[in-house]
Structure 1
Amino acid sequence: MISAVIDRFEEDKVVLLVGEDEQKVVFPKNLLDENLKEGDYLSIDIKYDEVATKKAVAEIEDLLKSLKNDNK
Protein backbone atom coordinates (compact mmCIF):
# COMPACT_ATOMS: atom_id res chain seq x y z
CA MET A 1 0.00 0.00 0.00
CA ILE A 2 1.31 3.44 -0.91
CA SER A 3 0.46 6.47 1.20
CA ALA A 4 -0.26 9.88 -0.34
CA VAL A 5 -1.45 13.25 0.92
CA ILE A 6 -3.42 15.82 -1.03
CA ASP A 7 -1.16 18.84 -1.35
CA ARG A 8 -3.47 21.07 -3.39
CA PHE A 9 -6.09 21.30 -6.10
CA GLU A 10 -5.36 22.97 -9.45
CA GLU A 11 -8.43 23.32 -11.70
CA ASP A 12 -9.28 19.76 -12.78
CA LYS A 13 -6.14 18.22 -11.23
CA VAL A 14 -5.02 17.31 -7.73
CA VAL A 15 -1.38 17.36 -6.64
CA LEU A 16 -0.53 14.38 -4.46
CA LEU A 17 2.62 13.92 -2.40
CA VAL A 18 3.27 10.20 -2.68
CA GLY A 19 5.37 7.88 -0.53
CA GLU A 20 7.80 8.60 2.25
CA ASP A 21 9.84 10.91 0.02
CA GLU A 22 6.63 12.76 -0.98
CA GLN A 23 7.13 12.69 -4.73
CA LYS A 24 4.76 15.07 -6.48
CA VAL A 25 2.18 13.35 -8.69
CA VAL A 26 -0.53 15.20 -10.64
CA PHE A 27 -3.75 13.19 -10.78
CA PRO A 28 -7.16 13.83 -12.39
CA LYS A 29 -9.46 15.39 -9.79
CA ASN A 30 -12.57 13.70 -11.19
CA LEU A 31 -11.21 10.25 -10.26
CA LEU A 32 -11.21 11.09 -6.55
CA ASP A 33 -14.07 11.47 -4.09
CA GLU A 34 -15.43 15.02 -4.33
CA ASN A 35 -15.45 15.34 -0.51
CA LEU A 36 -11.68 15.09 -0.21
CA LYS A 37 -9.74 18.20 0.76
CA GLU A 38 -6.18 19.42 1.07
CA GLY A 39 -4.31 17.58 3.81
CA ASP A 40 -6.36 14.38 3.49
CA TYR A 41 -4.36 11.15 3.30
CA LEU A 42 -5.02 8.42 0.76
CA SER A 43 -3.97 4.78 0.49
CA ILE A 44 -3.09 3.74 -3.05
CA ASP A 45 -2.96 0.10 -4.08
CA ILE A 46 -1.42 -0.50 -7.51
CA LYS A 47 -1.59 -4.03 -8.87
CA TYR A 48 -0.69 -5.71 -12.15
CA ASP A 49 -3.84 -6.71 -14.05
CA GLU A 50 -2.82 -9.82 -15.98
CA VAL A 51 -6.27 -10.38 -17.51
CA ALA A 52 -6.53 -6.84 -18.91
CA THR A 53 -2.95 -7.00 -20.19
CA LYS A 54 -3.52 -10.28 -22.02
CA LYS A 55 -6.77 -8.95 -23.50
CA ALA A 56 -5.04 -5.80 -24.78
CA VAL A 57 -2.18 -7.82 -26.31
CA ALA A 58 -4.66 -10.12 -28.06
CA GLU A 59 -6.58 -7.12 -29.45
CA ILE A 60 -3.37 -5.57 -30.78
CA GLU A 61 -2.30 -8.85 -32.38
CA ASP A 62 -5.71 -9.19 -34.05
CA LEU A 63 -5.50 -5.61 -35.34
CA LEU A 64 -2.01 -6.19 -36.76
CA LYS A 65 -3.16 -9.39 -38.50
CA SER A 66 -6.13 -7.51 -39.95
CA LEU A 67 -3.91 -4.71 -41.23
CA LYS A 68 -1.49 -7.20 -42.81
CA ASN A 69 -4.36 -9.00 -44.55
CA ASP A 70 -5.75 -5.69 -45.88
CA ASN A 71 -2.38 -4.95 -47.52
CA LYS A 72 -2.28 -8.18 -49.52
Structure 2
Amino acid sequence: MSLARRAVLPVLGLAGAARRWPVAAQQRAQHNAMVASTEAARRRVERYEVEHYLEELSAARRHGQPHATAQPRAQHL
Protein backbone atom coordinates (compact mmCIF):
# COMPACT_ATOMS: atom_id res chain seq x y z
CA MET A 1 0.00 0.00 0.00
CA SER A 2 1.40 3.36 -0.99
CA LEU A 3 2.00 6.17 1.44
CA ALA A 4 -0.56 8.37 -0.34
CA ARG A 5 -3.25 5.68 -0.06
CA ARG A 6 -2.54 5.23 3.65
CA ALA A 7 -2.90 8.98 4.14
CA VAL A 8 -6.25 9.10 2.31
CA LEU A 9 -7.96 6.17 4.07
CA PRO A 10 -8.56 7.95 7.42
CA VAL A 11 -10.04 10.94 5.61
CA LEU A 12 -12.40 8.69 3.65
CA GLY A 13 -13.43 6.98 6.88
CA LEU A 14 -14.26 10.34 8.47
CA ALA A 15 -16.17 11.43 5.38
CA GLY A 16 -18.24 8.23 5.47
CA ALA A 17 -18.97 8.69 9.17
CA ALA A 18 -20.02 12.29 8.51
CA ARG A 19 -22.42 11.10 5.77
CA ARG A 20 -23.95 8.42 8.00
CA TRP A 21 -24.32 10.59 11.13
CA PRO A 22 -27.55 12.43 10.17
CA VAL A 23 -29.30 9.17 9.31
CA ALA A 24 -28.21 7.53 12.55
CA ALA A 25 -29.21 10.60 14.57
CA GLN A 26 -32.66 10.65 12.93
CA GLN A 27 -33.17 6.96 13.64
CA ARG A 28 -32.23 7.44 17.30
CA ALA A 29 -34.61 10.40 17.55
CA GLN A 30 -37.46 8.37 16.03
CA HIS A 31 -36.78 5.51 18.44
CA ASN A 32 -36.77 7.87 21.43
CA ALA A 33 -40.02 9.45 20.26
CA MET A 34 -41.71 6.05 19.97
CA VAL A 35 -40.54 5.04 23.44
CA ALA A 36 -41.84 8.33 24.89
CA SER A 37 -45.16 8.01 23.05
CA THR A 38 -45.66 4.45 24.29
CA GLU A 39 -44.91 5.47 27.87
CA ALA A 40 -47.30 8.43 27.64
CA ALA A 41 -50.07 6.15 26.33
CA ARG A 42 -49.46 3.65 29.13
CA ARG A 43 -49.71 6.42 31.71
CA ARG A 44 -52.95 7.73 30.16
CA VAL A 45 -54.51 4.27 30.41
CA GLU A 46 -53.32 3.90 33.99
CA ARG A 47 -54.69 7.33 34.92
CA TYR A 48 -58.04 6.44 33.31
CA GLU A 49 -58.20 3.17 35.23
CA VAL A 50 -57.48 4.88 38.55
CA GLU A 51 -60.06 7.60 37.89
CA HIS A 52 -62.66 5.01 36.91
CA TYR A 53 -61.92 2.90 39.99
CA LEU A 54 -62.21 5.91 42.29
CA GLU A 55 -65.52 6.91 40.68
CA GLU A 56 -66.91 3.40 41.17
CA LEU A 57 -65.65 3.33 44.75
CA SER A 58 -67.25 6.69 45.48
CA ALA A 59 -70.56 5.60 43.94
CA ALA A 60 -70.52 2.34 45.90
CA ARG A 61 -69.92 4.20 49.16
CA ARG A 62 -72.74 6.66 48.43
CA HIS A 63 -75.11 3.76 47.94
CA GLY A 64 -73.97 2.03 51.11
CA GLN A 65 -72.25 -0.85 49.37
CA PRO A 66 -68.97 -2.17 50.73
CA HIS A 67 -65.95 -1.13 48.73
CA ALA A 68 -65.15 -4.75 47.85
CA THR A 69 -67.70 -4.56 45.01
CA ALA A 70 -65.74 -1.85 43.21
CA GLN A 71 -62.81 -3.61 41.65
CA PRO A 72 -60.20 -1.95 39.45
CA ARG A 73 -60.61 -2.93 35.81
CA ALA A 74 -57.69 -4.03 33.72
CA GLN A 75 -58.57 -2.40 30.44
CA HIS A 76 -56.13 -1.74 27.67
CA LEU A 77 -57.13 0.84 25.11
TM-score (norm 2): 0.34
> Could you say which structure has the greater relative contact order, defined with CA pairs below 8 angstroms and 6 or more residues apart?
1
Q: Which has the higher strand share?
A: 1
Q: Which has the higher helix share?
A: 2
